[in-house]
Amino acid sequence: MRISFDAVIIGAGPSGLCAAKVLSNTGKKVLLLERDPFLGGQLLKQTHMFFGSKQQYAGIRGYEIANILIKDIKHENITILTDTIATGYYPEERVLLAFKQEKELIQIEFKQLIVATGASEKSLLFENNDLPGIFGAGAVQTLMNMYGVLPGMDIVMVGSGNIGLIVSYQLIQAGAKVNCIIDAAKNIGGYFVHAAKIRRLGVPILMQHTIHKAIGRSTIEAVEIAPVDDQWNKIPEKSFRRDCDVLCLAVGLGPMTEILWQMGCQMSYVPELGGSVPIRKTSLETTVPGVFVAGDAAGVEEASSAMLEGMIAGMYAAKNLGIAEDVFQKEWLNSESYLKELRHGPVGEKIRKGIEKVEA
Amino acid sequence: MFQRCGYLSDEELSSVFPDMDRLQSGPVAIIECIQEIPCNPCQDACPRDAIGPFIRMTDNPVINFEKCNGCGLCIGSCPGLAIFVLHLCYGQDTSMIKIPYEMLPVPCPEQSVSLLDRSGQVIGRGIVKKIQSLKHNPKTHIIWIEIPRELYKKARNIKVDNNE
């Protein structure tokens, strides 16, 4: 089957939903593709209140924001395909191939494309890192917050970034014990206020420590934790043992950009953004005309900025389709300046550095 | 310091703490938020315009202790759960602290609970006086706890023991 749309959005997470919200207001023919059976992406797992400003839904919990965004889309103007994976791109015909609901392959023609595929979790190299009971933090969140399954009761968390801190907090809310959070870096990676929440629950945060090895027969039973020196060398002779039934890895994310590579977008490896990301304009249009990137696929950041990027990409894609600016709400037009505000200050420094490298 | 251990040192705390005169004159909010992160809903939460103004979203919150009456509406609006209200001279030798709380079980009024400091150490016991929540955020409880006055600078969390 071959179908044709003015605009196609891949991914219905925070950025894809915001792009869909903008484009569904233009009267153009829009398609939203989502791999999962439901819309919302990572927002659905976020039970904490969001930071930012009221324009970015500050103070509202992530899963509630997903529901607001889904409601905001003008559904009569948009075709939504869940359980559908964009698997390939054929440049000769400018056709996207997608696998729909495990049944059929569909070909999709488009004028404008927004790639909002998000990110995937990174892992860590250590002995026995394939033992059952070793999870990525996103997997723990999916089990716990989507399906109501607690993966274990005695947790060791690796990573003091916001995800490590937030998932630790959620595990305690769900009734598990978090033994400790460890991180090889000197300073806590996440927001201080998230760390403070965890500390006053009595969870130690051991900085300059890493996993030496995992111990267990059929499933994880303990870990050996080793200190790390100022040059990031592990000191195994000083390692110590902590019993646990889950080792949770929150060691960063990498942008999911396979489809952008296939499309021939010019890519660049930018450590500050988590991996390889496309070179783009401030409009988020890549080096392939009509192909946009938004959210974590453009560089790993967080959901508030992903939403703003979705707005921006959606508006510029609409402009390419001949839509005049007056269709857009005033709030949307401020997205670029809000994004600047979110990235201002010391915690935004890394992102600003990364963006500088890829904005053409 | 806070970036290493995850809680404020006494010195860091002193930059956000009201002076003794203000503490003695009635309840007041204390915002333990000293890292410049992009976040400002506390400003919108205050009905007395005592918080802010934020020039940039990443500014640290500044609270006007003279305008603040310790109502605690900001507690449930802070995404970082970093706001507490302290009523130093609540009883003869006790203080009242209002804290944000998102754990289960939720304690009952008059229940005795363990008091924890910023590093999670048990430092004493307090009595729960009241449990509130905001209409728009019913899942963050605001718990009022009567504490021994000498713990006013330290007690910032509670532990509800299941067998109590």
Where do the domains of chain A lie, and which CATH numbers do they carry?
2-120+253-358 (3.50.50.60), 123-249 (3.50.50.60)
Interface test with A, best of B13, B42, B44, B58 (most A CBs within 10 A): B58
Q: How far is A251 from chain B (nearest CA, A)?
A: 18
The partner residue sitting opposite A193, judged by closest CB among B44, B58, B82, is: B82
CA angle B11, B16, B20 (to 5 degrees): 90
* Interface membership of B79 toward A (CB under 8 Å): yes
CB contact under 8 A, A198 and B6: yes
Query: What is the reported pLDDT for A128?
Result: 98
Size of interface A-B (CB pairs under 8 A): 131
User: Average pLDDT over chain B, rounded to whole?
Assistant: 96
Which chain A positions have a beta carbon within 8 Å of B113's beta carbon? none
CB contact under 8 A, B118 and A199: yes
In the 8-state DSSP scheme, what is residue A144? I
pLDDT in tens, A282-330: 999 999 999 999 999 999 999 999 999 999 999 999 999 999 999 999 9
Which residue type is seen at A135? F
Query: What is the reported pLDDT for A342?
Result: 96
Confidence of residue B90 (pLDDT cuts 50, 70, 90): very high
Q: Which residues contact B14 (CB under 8 A, 6 or more apart)?
A: none
Positive or negative, the CA dihedral B97, B103, B109, B112 is negative
> ipTM of the assembly?
0.97
Beta bridge partners of A79: A31
* Interface membership of B105 toward A (CB under 8 Å): no
| Helix spans in A42-187 (H) | 62-72, 137-141, 147, 162-173
**Helix (H) or strand (E) segment spanning residue A308:** helix A303-320
pLDDT in tens, A333-360: 999 999 999 999 999 999 999 999 999 8
| Helix spans in A184-302 (H) | 192-199, 258-262
Answer yes or no: is pLDDT of A114 > 80. yes
Rounded mean pLDDT, A42-62: 95
Interface test with B, best of A60, A166, A173, A192 (most B CBs within 10 A): A192
Question: Phi/psi at A344 (nearest 5 deg)?
Answer: -75, 160
Which residue type is seen at A106? I
The partner residue sitting opposite A51, judged by closest CB among B38, B117, B119, is: B38
| A119 within 8 A of A255, measured Cβ to Cβ | yes
In the 8-state DSSP scheme, what is residue B19? P
Which chain B positions have a beta carbon within 8 Å of A352's beta carbon? none
Which chain A positions have a beta carbon within 8 Å of B56's beta carbon? 341, 344-345
Query: Which two structure tokens, joined as six digits, stand for A337?
Result: 């300046």
Interface test with B, best of A170, A193, A335 (most B CBs within 10 A): A193
Query: What is the reported pLDDT for B163?
Result: 59
Polymer length of chain A: 360
Q: Which residues contact A19 (CB under 8 A, 6 or more apart)?
A: A9, A114, A116, A292, A294, A310, A311, A313, A314, A317
Confidence of residue A268 (pLDDT cuts 50, 70, 90): very high
pLDDT in tens, A151-160: 999 999 999 9
Three-state DSSP at B50 gives coil
Q: Which residue has the tokens 């009201």?
A: B18
Answer yes or no: is pLDDT of B164 > 80. no
Answer yes or no: is pLDDT of B112 > 70. yes
Of all residues in chain A, the percent with pLDDT exceeding 90 is 98
Q: How far is A135 from chain B (nearest CA, A)?
A: 24
* Interface membership of B12 toward A (CB under 8 Å): no
Query: What is the reported pLDDT for A360?
Result: 84
| A250 within 8 A of A170, measured Cβ to Cβ | no
User: Taking Cα atoms as reference points, which of A281, A342, A300 lies closest to residue A118?
Assistant: A300
Q: Where are the domains of chain B?
A: 2-159
pLDDT in tens, A208-255: 999 999 999 999 999 999 999 999 999 999 999 999 999 999 999 999
Query: What is the reported pLDDT for B161?
Result: 84
User: Taking Cα atoms as reference points, which of A235, A237, A270, A234 lies closest to residue A254?
Assistant: A270
Q: Is the peptide bond before B107 cis (omega within 30 degrees of 0)?
A: no
pLDDT in tens, A17-37: 999 999 999 999 999 999 999
| B33 within 8 A of A316, measured Cβ to Cβ | no
Positive or negative, the CA dihedral A103, A105, A111, A117 is positive
Rounded mean pLDDT, A73-92: 95
pTM for the predicted model, two decimal places? 0.96
Interface test with A, best of B9, B39, B42 (most A CBs within 10 A): B39
Beta bridge partners of B142: B100, B132
Which chain A positions have a beta carbon within 8 Å of B156's beta carbon? 200
Three-state DSSP at A285 gives strand
